[in-house]
Amino acid sequence: MNEVVENSVDKREAILQGAFDEFCENGFLAASMDRILQTAGASKRTVYRYFESKEVLFQTLMLRQWRVIADNLKVSYRPGVDVREQLVEMGRAQARLYTSPEIMTANKMLMSEILRDPELVREIQNQVDYTASFEQLLKEAAADGALTIANPRQAAEEFISLLKGKAFWPFMLGAPLVSSEEMDAMIDQSVDMMMNQYGA
């Protein structure tokens, strides 16, 4: 054998990695299974042993990506801690996503596919509620008297809108990725606005 011996888990992983790169570069339709298996160093038969179709391979990857996103968005209210600081923490949770090239590149492609064919990612999409964790934090902060919020859901969405408007969507439309420092400034601006609106 020419190559280093790999066990079957590695092979599957290699295929997923190759597919990730190819899908990110070309999108679902223009991605070529031939190129994927070439990148992965696997034969066609092997690819189709692990994944019954291009579509299944794609969905497997997207589910994985969705989990990465969800894992980065976990925050919870800490009573007694300065509420402004906690809003900044919420912003930083989003910022972790917006400043990661790998995540954002994948997001760009994923977004394109969602728009083109919602069915392709429908089930996956419904498994994650981005705003739930933020909404919960704001609700608890309001109950605690730290903020005055009639509609926590709306407030959470407003906050996320501000951050996405500054960092997420511009990148989607071709702007360069924002740095951590720029992101900190953006978080500050957005938190200011939230405090002006909802500060107790």
Partner DNA sequence: GTATAGGTACACCCAACAGTTTACCTGCAT
Partner DNA sequence: ATGCAGGTAAACTGTTGGGTGTACCTATAC
Binding residues vs a copy of itself (CB under 8 A) = 27, 29-30, 108-109, 111-116, 118, 122, 125, 154, 157-158, 160-162, 164-166, 169, 172-174, 189, 192-193, 196-197
Give the alpha-carbon dihedral of 114, 118, 124, 127, to 10 degrees. Answer: 100
Contact 70, 128 (CB under 8 A): yes
For residues 11 and 14, give the distance between their C-alpha atoms in angstroms, rounded to a whole number: 5
Single out the residue of 17, 27, 39, 49 in contact with DNA (rule: CB under 7 A): 49
Q: CB of 64: closest distance to a copy of itself in angstroms?
A: 20
Give the number of C-alpha atoms closer than 13 A to the C-alpha of residue 59, restricted to the C-beta side.
15
Note whether 48 binds DNA by CB under 7 A.
Answer: yes
At which residue do the structure tokens 């400034």 appear? Answer: 185
Cα maximum dimension of the chain: 69
Q: CB of 166: closest distance to a copy of itself in angstroms?
A: 7
Which among a copy of itself, DNA, none contacts residue 84 (Cβ within 5 to 8 A by kind)?
A: none
Q: Which residues bind DNA (CB under 7 A)?
A: 1, 5, 8, 11-12, 30-34, 41-46, 48-50, 52-55
